Amino acid sequence: MIRGSFASALLAPLLAVMLAAPPAQAQAPAAAAADAAAPAQAVDPAVIQALKDMGAQLQSLKRFGVSVELSGERVLVDGQKLQHTATADLDVVRPNRLFVLMSSARSTRELSFDGKTVTLYTPAQKYYSSAEFSGSIGEVIDGLKTRFDVEVPLSDLFLWGTDLAPLDGIESAMNAGQDIIGDDLCDHYAFRQG
């Protein structure tokens, strides 16, 4: 799951469908509503190709680093929403070296993989846990989730461009225009996974 914008609606195609629809009196009300609500194309093949191209580029990198600011929310039993933020820094050396530093107001955790062993360390408590692993970084990330229910931030970066990429689970893929990241003008894509 590339973390970023996930579209909950396709506004532009919806407007195009609504403007192109025949007059309402020529249709039954239920049929008119169904036509107006249907997106023109939920999964744009050009956007999927852009995702594949990005994945191929990522897979070609032998060494890279990623820093990200994350935000999320938790909904309490009474409906109250609590927002939280965190940061994650990943240093990657392919095929089998990874260091992740995850920090939030509540904790700091380090995860490292040296090609043979994965170690999870929490400096404040001075606790660590290690497990033997082999394989690629993507295989280790999958094994951590399967065996220990440990999720690595931005784990999708290690799946796109491989046979493990969850392309079948994409329900919506659209080009959301352009946006500025840092000083660079970038294409903005939005995806929703089922």
Domains of the chain by residue range: 67-152
- What would the mean pLDDT of 93-119 be, rounded to a whole number? 95
Q: Which pLDDT score is estimated for 66?
A: 93
Predicted TM-score (pTM) of this structure:
0.68
pLDDT band for position 169 (cuts 50, 70, 90): confident
Has residue 145 got a pLDDT over 50?
yes
Band of the pLDDT at 26, cuts 50, 70, 90? very low
The mean pLDDT value for 51-68 works out to 93
Q: Is 182 left (phi over 0), alpha (psi -120 to 50) or beta?
A: left
Assess whether pLDDT exceeds 50 at residue 180: yes
Is the confidence at residue 60, as pLDDT, over 70? yes
Identify each DSSP E strand in the chain by its residue range: 63-75, 81-93, 97-104, 108-113, 117-122, 127-132, 170-181, 184-193
What's the mean per-residue pLDDT of the chain?
81
Please state the separation of Cα 16 from the chain's center in Å: 28
Tokens 């003008």 sit at which residue? Answer: 185
Query: Terminal CA-to-CA distance of the chain, rounded, Å?
Result: 11
